[in-house]
Amino acid sequence: MSEVPGELKYTKSHEWVRIEADGSVVVGITDHAQDQLGDMVYIEVPEAGTSFAAGDACAVVESVKAASDVYAPIAGEVTEGNDALADSPELVNQDPFGDGWLMKLNPGDSSELDGLMDAEAYQAFLESEEH
């Protein structure tokens, strides 16, 4: 069973979002997503200063099996990409909600966060996808 931390927000394309005290957000892919994709071998994160609209492809995670786009959960400007992933893409497998984070964003419109799923809704979504 995949881990779904209660304090995070989620998208249907399996990104997670953590809202920090200063209003910025951290984005990664979920435990379910990393498990489905398998061993990560190459990850491309955006540079600071890049802006995205909600739903834009903003990063690429490549497992041995396939390349997959990661989509911006909300609109915003990237303040930092996780450079550690360039040398250690396996962090996404080992710690998807921690050291395997992908990027930090300054939200363009914080109200977009309300449109994301909470842990309970995401858990139900995963179960519905399995059937």
Partner 1 sequence: MGRHTPLYDLHVRQGGKLVDFAGWDMPINYGSQVDEHHQVRRDVGMFDVSHMTVVDLHGDNTRAFLRKLLANNIDRLQAPGKALYSCMLNEQGGVIDDLITYYVREDCFRMVVNAATRDKDLDWIRRQAEPFGVEVQERDDLAMIAVQGPNAREHVLNLLPATLRDGAAELKPFFAALNGMQESGWFVARTGYTGEDGFEIVLPEADAPRLWQALFDNGVSPIGLGARDTLRLEAGMNLYGSDMTEETTPLESGLSWTLAWEPAERDFIGRAALEAQREAGVASKLVGLVLEGKGVIRNHQKVITEAGEGEVTSGSFSPTIGGSIALARIPAAAGDKVEIEIRGKRIPARVVKPPFVRHGEVRV
Residues that bind partner 1 (CB under 8 A): 38-39, 41-42, 44, 60, 62, 64-67, 86, 93
Closer CB to partner 1, residue 41 or residue 53?
41
CA angle 91, 84, 89 (to 5 degrees): 40
Which has the closest alpha carbon to 112: 53, 57, 70?
53
| CB 62, min distance to partner 1, A | 5
Q: Which amino acid appears at position 68 of this protein? A: S
Q: How far is the CB of 21 from partner 1 (least distance, A)?
A: 34
Total Cβ atoms within 10 A of residue 23: 10
CB-nearer residue toward partner 1: 1 or 66: 66
- When the beta carbons of 25 and 85 are compared against partner 1, the nearer one is 85
Distance CA 14, CA 12 (A): 5
